[in-house]
Structure 1
Amino acid sequence: MSSQMFTLEEATWAWINTGPIKHKAPIGKRFLKGFMAGLFLSMGGMLVNILSADPWLSTNAPGLLKIIQGACFPVGLVMIVLLQADLVTGAMAIMILSTLKRKVPFWAFAVDWTIVFIGNLSGALFYAGLLVYYTEIYTEAMVTGSAATATSKAGPAINFRENFLRGIGCNVLVCIAVFQASLAKDVISKIVASWFPIFVFVSAGFEHVVASMFLIPEGLMQGSPVSVGRYIWNAMIPAFLGNILGAALLVLPLLYLYGDDEHDPLQVSGETLPTTNGIQSTGYTKDAESADGSRPSN
């Protein structure tokens, strides 16, 4: 009977070998994958805003509200994992590993993160503006809740340091979610494995730079007094930097524990396998172009 999951070594090397595939992929495809991810994650963000509209929960049971929001938000991440879209937070993990293993040039991470970041932001703003704000699907209570969410994330009550540290906590959990999904071979296992770490990060109130690309601009459109400049300085930049460190806190131990060259499938097999976009690949990574590092279930 075949195993129900990939080994930790196989999953780690799948992430490592995804880096050069992503690096050689056409810019248009990389941007589109980022756009799709920003769009999908915003769907979960919309649910967070809808739930924030209940004044009784917000006032009398804020902890329960957080738990319910945490249970709903992961729908976007599940779409990203299954449809192989690209989050910049996942790209952080992939490119750190690939750079340290010298699979890509040292400057490749900056190019990849920029393309995916712009794609994520475009997708999130498209969803926030055209599919939520201009469709007027929010009730008055939802509008108020959306504005309050943006103010809580970027307003004067929170500072750069707090969002930076929250960004670290967030991306440790996000990368755990995606890595666990990449261990699984079937769809249901991927969904369950990715769901619970995201549930924890949202319930705890950690900061994800892409989630906030929807939540804060949508709140600004709905009347939050936070300025665009304050959002960028007080939320986007610290969350982005914190997310980088959060990714490193997971992938560096994975690299040390399971990233030895002896586990490289190319070295183990001693074979030269077919290429994808001109990049030598392995049997289980040749189609893995996603920043989240997950693989098709063969």
Structure 2
Amino acid sequence: MAFFKPEQIANITVETGTKKTKYSLLKSIILGFQAGAFISLGYLLFIRVTAPLTGDIAGISTILGASLFPIGLVLTLIAGGELLTGNMMAVPLAWLARKISFKQLIANWSIITISNFIGAVFVAYVFGHVVGLTETGPFLEKTIFIAEHKLEATFIQAFLSGIGCNWLVALAVWLSYGSEDMTGKILGIWFPTMTFVAIGFQHVVANMFVIPAAIFAGHFTWLEYLHNFVPVFLGNAVGGSVFVALAYYHAYKKNLVLTETPAHKSNVAMMKRGGM
């Protein structure tokens, strides 16, 4: 499996983050909806598989569910999608590299937040509520248990949990950019994502599914959800922007122009031919 070195991944991430801000509004909305739905389907899979596990086999539910959840991020990064938590790493790195403006960064985050929310709530309402996949028997109990656990966290707990989550998710995205083939990308995505789920960190887009699913079932309120959304959003932003984007910007900023990633090779060749 061919892969890139970290300094090369930094260049690829800058280019990707820059490209994300130049998508049309319609493209961003469509891909944002897809990503929100994909993450939610991964969470729905988690609930459907782990909820019936009781008794002696209940102990394996956490690791089993965590090993299944990453399908949502795999679909997002390989099939195509714009996920807020990934953009909280790639777009800030492009900004730090002075490829985009801060206004473009905020605009991208805003559009993707809204479209991720629509995709997640669509899955929660249509498949969870209307079809009833999160509103019967052990599946309802599991959904309520998860939502309650997330909502009972204090502001600082949710904030710090959000940092831990997106430190890992952003690294999963980073690793996916570092592989040239699908198998390498899937492996790079799978293990950091599985880790954050097994630990129990909070992911703002995943919460857009599971908490509304519990609300549609008649539990909790949208105001309670808002009190969770804000600290988790901020924590995810810090995890991706500071612990990954800012850290690797300072580690590899001297390589951002000089590293010959595939996208830079043609430019370097042209510069040499021109005597520059």
Contact 1:144/1:222, CA 8 A, preserved across alignment? no
Paired residue for 2:274? none
| Matches of 1:271 and 1:166, distance apart in 2 | 47
| Matches of 2:164 and 2:266, distance apart in 1 | 35
SS class of match (2:32): helix
Alignment partner of 1:148 is 2:145: yes
Paired residue for 2:253? 259
| Matches of 1:266 and 1:97, distance apart in 2 | 21
Query: In the TM superposition, what are the counterparts of 1:48-87 in structure 2 within 5 Å?
Result: 48-54=46-52, 56=54, 64-87=60-83
Amino acid of the residue matched to residue 193 of structure 2? I
Paired residue for 2:230? 237
RMSD across aligned positions (CA): 2.0
Q: TM-score, normalised by structure 2?
A: 0.89
Paired residue for 2:222? 228
CA 1:84–1:153: 2 relative to 1, 3 Å: same
Query: In the TM superposition, what are the counterparts of 1:152-231 in structure 2 within 5 Å?
Result: 152-154=149-151, 157-224=152-219, 226-231=220-225
CA 1:200–1:181: 2 relative to 1, 3 Å: same
Alignment partner of 1:246 is 2:239: yes
| Matches of 2:270 and 2:11, distance apart in 1 | 16
- What fraction of aligned residue pairs are identical, expressed as a percent? 31
Amino acid of the residue matched to residue 137 of structure 2? E
Paired residue for 1:16? 14
SS class of match (1:6): coil
Displacement, 1:205?
0.3
Alignment partner of 1:5 is 2:9: no
Paired residue for 1:294? none
Displacement, 1:150?
1.1
Task: Show structure 1 runs of 5+ residues with no match.
Answer: 273-298
Displacement, 1:223?
3.2
Displacement, 1:23?
1.8
Contact 2:63/2:198, CA 8 A, preserved across alignment? yes
Q: Deviation string for 1:171-212 (max 9, x for gaps)?
A: 010011111111111111111111000110000000000011
Paired residue for 2:114? 118
Amino acid of the residue matched to residue 239 of structure 1? V
Paired residue for 1:38? 36
Amino acid of the residue matched to residue 129 of structure 1? Y
Contact 1:13/1:259, CA 8 A, preserved across alignment? no
| Matches of 2:58 and 2:245, distance apart in 1 | 33
SS class of match (1:93): helix
| Matches of 1:15 and 1:271, distance apart in 2 | 22
Equivalent pairs counted in the alignment come to: 264
Paired residue for 1:286? none
Amino acid of the residue matched to residue 103 of structure 2? W
Displacement, 1:27?
0.7
